[in-house]
Structure 1
Amino acid sequence: MLSKILIIDDSELSLSVMKALIQESYLSERVSLTLCKNTVDAKEFIEKQDFDLIITDIVMPEISGYELISHIKEHYQTPVLAISSGYGKDDPALVLETAKELGADKVLFKFHLQQELVNTVSLYVQQAA
């Protein structure tokens, strides 16, 4: 059974990197990825299909990652992995701590993504199997 994962990030580069990391890992045959460049479209995807894991950036145009996390946790049981590059005016640790307080199941700095992303996705894929 494929684990369905939605990845949301307004950076094309970040989406490409996360997709490549997952596809190049041993998870590639066990995961179905949906990539989304904005949170508005992401909400529509979430309403139309079930995901085993949602990975979202925090700093996003239109609807923030914070708002999306709150929406997901209010209406769905889906685990959320929040990521942030630490760019912007807020302290990066505070950004991720706030995401955790809003219900994110795990938080990661984008700069530490490579192995942590693969390890985290692996845990959720194993749970969904």
Structure 2
Amino acid sequence: MRILVVEDEIRISNLLRIYLQREMFQVDVVENGKDGLECALKEDYNLIILDVLMPEIDGYQVLKEVRKIKKTPVIMLSAKCTEEDIKYSKDLGANHFIAKPFSPGDVVTKVKDLLSLDC
């Protein structure tokens, strides 16, 4: 199964890659919203992990554009986590919202849950 991680903080994207690859996922990582949008639309992923605050195009705009074409499950990540942020993400079509800081193990569990895999 293929997962796209769109995250501008290298430390976080590397951590997610390590944890997801341990679970046998194929993981592609991009560092900005523009590249993330391009990959999400061009390639077929089973799930996208998408940071909200990124250079070039923010995660909300990426999600809006992806939802025009695809129904790929999306987990939003953000250090800014208010009820409004969570509601806005859900209204745009996000499947789940995870606040930073987070446990990488919890992200893997949520990924498996969304993909209906055994946790």
Give the TM-score band, short-chain normalised: 0.7 to 0.9
The within-5 A match list for 1:37-52 is: 37-52=31-46
C-alpha distance in 2 between matches for 1:66 and 1:59: 9
C-alpha distance in 2 between matches for 1:37 and 1:119: 23
2:78 alignment counterpart: 84
C-alpha distance in 2 between matches for 1:110 and 1:17: 13
Residues 83 and 96, structure 1, Cα contact 8 Å, conserved in 2: no
* 95-104 or 61-70, larger mean C-alpha shift: 95-104
The two structures, once aligned, show a CA RMSD in angstroms of 1.6
2:69 alignment counterpart: 75
Figure out how many residues of one structure are paired with residues of the other and give that number: 116
Matched to 1:20, the amino acid is I
1:12 alignment counterpart: 10
In our comparison, the structure showing a higher alpha carbon Rg is 1
Change (3 A) 1:110 1:20: farther
Residues 11 and 37, structure 1, Cα contact 8 Å, conserved in 2: yes
Where do 5+ consecutive residues of structure 2 fail to align? none
Structure 1 residues 75-96: Cα deviation after superposition (integer angstroms, max 9, x where no partner) = 111111001022xxxxx22323
The within-5 A match list for 1:20-31 is: 20-24=18-22, 27=23, 29=24, 31=25
Residues 52 and 124, structure 1, Cα contact 8 Å, conserved in 2: no
Matched to 2:105, the amino acid is Q
TM-score normalised according to structure 1 size = 0.81
| Higher RCO (C-alpha 8 Å, min separation 6) | 1
C-alpha distance in 2 between matches for 1:85 and 1:21: 20
Give the share of equivalent positions with the same residue, in percent.
Answer: 26
Q: Which has the higher helix share?
A: 1
Kindly state the Cα deviation for residue 68 of structure 1 after the two structures are TM-superposed. Answer: 0.7
Residues 22 and 118, structure 1, Cα contact 8 Å, conserved in 2: yes
Kindly state the Cα deviation for residue 116 of structure 1 after the two structures are TM-superposed. Answer: 2.0
Structure 1 residues 65-121: Cα deviation after superposition (integer angstroms, max 9, x where no partner) = 1111111111111111001022xxxxx223233212211011101222323201111
Kindly state the Cα deviation for residue 125 of structure 1 after the two structures are TM-superposed. Answer: 4.0
TM-score normalised according to structure 2 size = 0.87
